[in-house]
């Protein structure tokens, strides 16, 4: 049971609270402990991600990667139009071949157009130094201070989008769909994009989040303000 400013009791169950809010609350706690040097007081978290010396896992959870890419290069196999038999059979066969070639050509042209492609589920690990998405084929990771990062944004409460240049000097655009998206965005932006509008306006959290936390009896640390006022160690 909580109270309004007028002292009127408000049942905690009437305050809107979603599973994603739970992740946001823990994200604020993690950031506060990170900024204020209390990580050693947090329980260790298991992860299969490879860690560097001194690196500590902050959060782990299911995730999915999306990539902005084409499914093909525009090429297709063109079938020949040779046919033998009576004239009616030959004409029918040639027409069918032409229709088939046209369909393959159109499909190849569509596949050559970039679009968002879901690469499959995996596990995301957030550490004191990086984000790591594990996948047998489409692995993705970046350090908070990676030089290849070009842009980042929180496009939804559970999706972060990043533009980067890989080791082959290729420009890439990727999305990570995870309940830890806000945490990933905040840590990346704080280190590599400190003037990001969403960071400066504290817009990576819902505007009334701290009030709702207080109303359900679980006040959260002012993580958004802490990121602006102090460095991450």
Q: Could you write out the three-class secondary structure of 31-81?
A: HHHHHCCCHHHCCCCCCCCCCCCCCCEEEEEEEEEEEEECCCCCCCCCCCC
pLDDT of the residue at 167: 86
Residue with tokens 């006040």: 219
Torsion of CA 12, 17, 22, 24, to 10 degrees: -120
Cα Dmax for the chain: 94
**Tell me, what's the pLDDT at 107?**
74
- C-alpha distances out from residue 220 to 34, 146, 154, 216, 233, Å: 14, 30, 21, 11, 20
3-state helix, strand, coil in the chain (%, to 5): 35, 25, 40
Q: What is the predicted pLDDT for the residue at 96?
A: 67
pLDDT tens digits, residue range 143-162?
999 999 999 999 999 999 99
- pLDDT of res. 4: 37
Helix (H, G, I), strand (E, B) or coil at 207: coil
Q: Low-confidence residues of the chain, pLDDT below 70?
A: 1-13, 72-96, 98-99, 101, 103-106, 108-109, 111-112, 230-233
- Res 112: pLDDT: 66
CA 182 to chain centre: 9
Q: Return the DSSP state at 85.
A: S
pLDDT of 121 reads 95
Q: Would you state the pLDDT for residue 205?
A: 96
pLDDT (tens digit, 9 = 90+) per residue, 96-126? 676 676 766 667 667 668 899 999 899 999 9
Secondary structure letter of residue 106 according to DSSP: H
Q: In the prediction, which pLDDT does 94 show? A: 53
pTM metric for this prediction: 0.79
């Amino acid at each position: 049971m909580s109270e309004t400013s007028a002292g009127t009791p408000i049942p905690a169950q009437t305050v809107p609270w979603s599973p994603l809010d739970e992740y946001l609350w823990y994200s604020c706690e993690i950031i506060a402990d990170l900024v204020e040097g209390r990580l050693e007081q947090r329980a260790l978290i298991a992860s299969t991600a490879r860690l560097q010396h001194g690196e500590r896992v902050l959060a782990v959870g299911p995730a999915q990667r999306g990539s902005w890419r084409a499914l093909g290069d525009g090429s297709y196999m063109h079938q020949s139009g040779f046919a033998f038999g009576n004239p009616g059979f030959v004409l029918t066969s040639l027409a069918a071949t032409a229709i088939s070639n046209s369909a393959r050509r159109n499909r190849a042209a569509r596949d050559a157009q970039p679009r968002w492609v879901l690469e499959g589920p995996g596990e995301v690990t957030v550490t004191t130094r990086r984000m790591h998405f594990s996948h047998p084929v489409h692995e993705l990771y970046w350090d908070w201070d990676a030089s290849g990062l070009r842009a980042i944004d929180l496009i939804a409460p559970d999706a972060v989008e990043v533009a980067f240049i890989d080791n082959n000097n290729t420009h890439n655009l990727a999305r990570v769909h995870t309940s830890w998206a806000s945490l990933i965005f905040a840590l990346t932006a704080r280190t590599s994009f400190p003037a990001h509008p969403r960071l400066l306006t504290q817009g990576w959290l819902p505007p009334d989040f701290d009030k709702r936390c207080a109303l359900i009896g679980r006040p959260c640390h002012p993580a958004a303000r802490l990121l602006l006022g102090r460095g991450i160690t």
